[in-house]
Structure formats: structure tokens, C-alpha cells
Amino acid sequence: MNEIVRLALEEDIGAGDVTSRACVPSARMARGRFLARETLVLAGADLLREIYDARGGVQELTLLKRDGDQCRDGDAIATVQGGARTLLECERVALNFLQRLSGVATMARRFADAVAGTHCRVMDTRKTTPGLRALEKRAAAAGGVLNHRMGLFDAILIKNNHIAAAGGVRQAMENARSSGLPIEIEVRTREELRDALASGARHVLLDNLTPAEAAGWVRRIGGRAQVELSGGITLENVRAYAETGADFVSSGAITHSARAMDISFRLELA
């Protein structure tokens, strides 16, 4: 079982759902439906089985929509049948995951749609909810954006503080090359760009530029390296950045500013 699912259930249910135990007979059976209450892109549906399997008492779970599917207000996402107490005690955890992850997927789809028709692809960032990164990045991918590195361990991104600590762009690039990992480097000046390209950089990051400034940098680079733009990129301005000729734009808003989507759970006796 996904450890984060186990922790979420433990956090919410603890020693037991005292309300359901007090109100609902132990043998009572019920069925429930998860419903979209607004237009959204679904994510997290595959966690439902893990949630119910962890608690037992569920006879049947049917997924009517899959991660990445667009749902409209009133669409049924999934149905479940089993012990009423189990359905009640799992309700909030299931909704929390569905609402949060669908929010990320929906935001990701809006970003992807905003740059449609350009050469540019949108990427997510490490600005995720602590403990939920793998799930949120999976949701972002379901929404149609690219996953950037998962963490500090799977790709090298040399930023300004790394350059300062290493003793310069050339030294940072030389030190990093032996890792064998993909290398991206942030450049802030023409001198840093020249040094990065001379050191074999194939992927450069430009941070906190206006679209007009970014377009100038992209022309200067002239295809000698892939270009990623970051910093202050929002749903409102992402198209302007994408039209600069950059290969990628990255935005933390996909994860840190996604709102929970409106999804409900409706229970009735079986």
C-alpha cells in the first residue's frame, strides 16, 4: 500500500470512526457514488482501491473515469458497494486525495492548453506539498505537462548558489560532468552563458525575465542549447513566454496554487 494512503487513513480514522459506530449497524450495507460537481481533469482515482482495500468491507469498486479524463458537473467518477461503516470512514480521505490531485491535474491541463500550438512544453517543479510529491507529479502528468526532476537525486540543476559555491560556471560544469546525470544550468549574464556553452551545456535555465527579455536571450542562444524559462510564470502569461521560442517553461503554480476541485460522495442503502 502507498505509505501516504496508510498515513492519511491513520490520521483521520485513528482508533475508529466513533460516529459511524454509534449510528450505523455493523452489518448494514450501502453503495456510494463519487460525483464531479464542476468541470475538472481527474487524478487520484487509482488510490480509491488502495484506500478501500486497507479498510476491508468493500465488495465492489468500479472506476467510471480514469486519471486524465475530463469530467463535467454531474459526471459519475466511481461507484463503490460494501459495508456502510467502511464507506463512511473512508469518505473524507478518498475525497481529499481526489479533490487535491484533480486540482493539480486541472491546473496542469489549463497550462498545457494555454501553450498549445507553440514549440514550447510546460513542466512542473519541486514546489509540491511535502509528502505528496510523487502523487502530485503524477497528477500533473495526467493533466498534460512534463515532470521536471523528481528531487535533488535524479538530475543536476546548477543554480546561482551552486555556481558561487563551486567557484564559477566552468568549474561547476566540470565538477558535475562526472556524475553522468543530465545537467541543466542557470545563467544570468552573457559571460555565464558563454562559459556554460563553452563547457558543453545543452540545457540552460533563464529565471525571472520578462517575455521580451527572454525572447532576446533565446535569439542569442540560437539553438545551441535547450532553453527553459522560469520565475513568475502564471496561467495568464505562460503563452507569452512560450512564444519566445523557448523549449520549456516551468511553473510552481501547477502544484502550489492548484485549488481542490469540487467532488462529492453520495451514499444510499444497498
Which residues are CB-neighbours of 231 under 8 A, at least 6 positions away? 207, 208, 209
How many Å apart are CA 230 and CA 262, to the nearest integer?
30
For the chain, first and last CA: distance in Å? 28
Q: Cα 267 to chain center, whole Å?
A: 30
CA distance 245 to 224: 13
C-alpha distances in Å from residue 258, one per residue of 16, 59, 96, 110, 126: 31, 34, 13, 11, 14
Determine whether 92 is an active site residue: yes
- Exactly one of 46, 50, 113, 207 is catalytic; name it: 207
| Cα(229)–Cα(233) distance, integer angstroms | 8
* The one catalytic residue among 28, 33, 159, 188: 159
Query: Is there a catalytic annotation at residue 186?
Result: yes
Say what the alpha-carbon torsion angle 10, 16, 17, 20 is, to the nearest 10 degrees: 150
Which of 69, 136, 186, 195 is catalytic? The answer is: 186
Catalytic residue among 37, 127, 133, 170: 127
CA angle 129, 184, 242 (to 5 degrees): 75
Catalytic residue among 37, 92, 133, 170: 92
Q: Does 65 participate in catalysis according to the annotation?
A: no
Please indicate whether residue 207 is annotated as part of the active site: yes
CB 139 within 8 A of CB 107: no
Beta strands in 159-245 (DSSP E): 183-186, 203-207, 226-230
Active-site positions? 92, 127, 159, 186, 207
